[in-house]
Each structure stands twice: as C-alpha cells, then as structure tokens.
C-alpha cells in the first residue's frame, strides 16, 4: 500500500485526566500515515486521486484543538474516524499522538500512543 507521511504536526489542546491539563492545556504532536493507492495520482498528476495534505492537517487540528478528552488514546481514535469520514480514498491510517509534557514526575522525552485503523 502506498503511504503519505505527515510528521510532527504540532497543536495546543486540553486533553488529560487532571483538571490543570483541561484548564491550562499543553502541546501535542501528531504523526499520521495515510494509506491509499497513489498509482492514479502518480500517473495523472491529479490531486483528486490523492489526499490533500492541507485538508488532512485541518482535520487533525480540529480534533486535537477541539473538545477535550481524558485519554490520548481517544484523541488518536477520533483523528482516525475523522480522516476516514473526510477522505473516501483513505484505506488505512496509523495515528501517533505524542504528549511531550505529561504531568509525570521523572525524566523522559514524551509519552505516546499509536493506533492503526483500516476502513471497514
């Protein structure tokens, strides 16, 4: 399957279990891999045979900057659902939601969840 990679998209959201996360918000980073057949797009040079990266960015942004969720697992799942709703050519996607600064005492780079969904 052909893939479009969208790497290190950065947004500000209010997801988390703790009240201060919901009130103060924090940065979230999203990686998305969009799987579809790009053969026709490559041959025709026609955007209608692919997925517009800017539109996909806006779909992801709307979820991350939208209604707060307790879990980044739920954020990732909602991103996948909205991508499928927006793009009929999308056959599968992998979504990774990274939380660089969760309220955890200790030294770490980030925490993240990654899901893969296929169109049913």
Catalytic residues: 99
CB 4 within 8 A of CB 50: yes
100: burial class by Cβ within 10 Å (0-12, 13-18, 19+)?
middle
How many Å apart are CA 120 and CA 118, to the nearest integer? 6
The phi, psi pair for 117, rounded to 5°, reads -130, 145
Residues 6+ apart with CB under 8 A from 104: 111
């Amino acid at each position: 399957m052909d893939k479009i990679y969208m790497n290190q998209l950065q947004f500000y959201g209010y997801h988390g279990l703790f009240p201060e996360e919901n009130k103060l918000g924090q940065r979230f980073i999203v990686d998305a891999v969009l799987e579809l057949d790009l053969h026709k797009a490559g041959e025709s040079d026609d955007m209608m045979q692919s997925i517009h990266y800017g539109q996909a960015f806006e779909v992801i942004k709307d979820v991350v900057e939208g209604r707060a969720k307790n879990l980044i697992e739920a954020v990732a799942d909602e991103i996948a659902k909205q991508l499928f709703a927006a793009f009929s050519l999308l056959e599968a996607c992998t979504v990774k939601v990274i939380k660089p600064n969760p309220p955890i005492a200790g030294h770490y780079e980030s925490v993240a969840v990654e899901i893969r969904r296929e169109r049913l």
